[in-house]
Amino acid sequence: MAVIFDEPDHVGHEIGHDTPAYYTKLHELDGYIGQILQAVKEAGIWDDTVIIITADHGGIENGHGGKTMMEMETPFIIAGKGIQKGQVITNSMMQFDIASTIADLLGLQQPQVWIGRSVIR
Ligand SMILES: [Zn+2]
């Protein structure tokens, strides 16, 4: 299942990235993620679940799409079944590595044309 939040993109565009309003929105979203995690626990599937929290881009001032680290760097948090706790990914990774990581978690062989690599191995 994927849950995609349309924010904080709008706040970033309208008010600005890296602003107090931006972080207020992130705090609000953190609460929603907490509700999702609680629902997973209540459904009794916590021990069979892997949670990935990431974003498709960062931002700078009121935009994104450039080549600054503020725009290109995104979080990647993964936890759950089969994921070593406390591990820090020190190698660089790309967005397409997420699909490869999910395929790896599911025990699937990724298609030959994919160039991604699993980040949990
Ligand atoms: Zn945007």
- Give the chain's end-to-end CA distance (angstroms, integer): 23
Residues 94, 44 contacting (CB under 8 angstroms): no
CA–centroid distance, 103 to ligand 1, in Å, is 28
Tens-place pLDDT, residues 5-26: 999 999 999 999 999 999 999 9
pLDDT-based confidence at residue 100 (cuts at 50, 70, 90): very high
Ligand 1 centroid, distance to 72 Cα (angstroms): 12
| Distance (Å) from CA 102 to ligand 1 centroid | 25
CA of 8 to the centre of ligand 1 (A): 9
Give the pLDDT band of residue 121 (cuts 50, 70, 90).
confident
So what's the pLDDT on residue 118? 96
Which distant-in-sequence residues (6+ apart) come within 8 Å of 88 by Cβ? none
List pLDDT tens digits, range 66-88: 999 999 999 999 999 989 999 99
CA distances from 34 to 13, 73, 82, 97 (A): 25, 23, 21, 25
State the pLDDT at residue 46. 96
What integer best gives the mean pLDDT of the chain?
96
